[in-house]
Amino acid sequence: MFAPLTWFLVASSLAAMVYAVVLAARNKRIDWPVLGAIGVVEVGLLAQLVVGIVQFSGTDRDVSGPFFIGYLIGSLIILPIGAFWALAESSRWGAGVLAIACLVIPILELRLHDVWTA
């Protein structure tokens, strides 16, 4: 895997999580800046999906294919689900849901890194 992209995704997702937590603490709904940050993370996740599939197809490592591809696809769909849920929720908990979705991304990224390097 391309480690700088992984660490960028971890850092940017955590930054978006902090912003969503601040919105939730201030009893605010999600706004365009947090959606823009989520969009940046999502584009990075899409790039990681492409890079991951290309690297997986050309490697001779003992990597579990279903787990690896599953983590790539799973990390790609978490943020849109969280964002749609947050947009549908009109209370502070919409931002809370988005914060949890943003927290899931670093966990999946670190697990993906472990699967790749194992």
pLDDT, tens only, 23-68: 999 999 999 999 999 999 999 999 999 999 999 998 888 888 898 9
pTM (global) more than 0.75: yes
Residue ranges with strand state E in 30-82: none
pLDDT value of residue 53: 92
- Tally of CB atoms within 10 A around 73: 13
pLDDT at residue 1 tops 80: no
Find the helix packing angle between 65-88 and 32-57, rounded to 10°: 170
Q: How confident is the model at residue 74 (pLDDT cuts 50, 70, 90)?
A: very high
| Burial class of 36 by CB neighbour count within 10 A (0 to 12, 13 to 18, 19+) | exposed
Read off the DSSP letter of residue 61.
S
- Angle at Cα 110 formed by Cα 108 and Cα 114, nearest 5°? 110
**Side-chain half-sphere exposure of 76, counting CA atoms within 13 A:** 15
pLDDT value of residue 102: 97
Name which of 102, 107, 103, 7 is nearest 48 in CA terms. 7
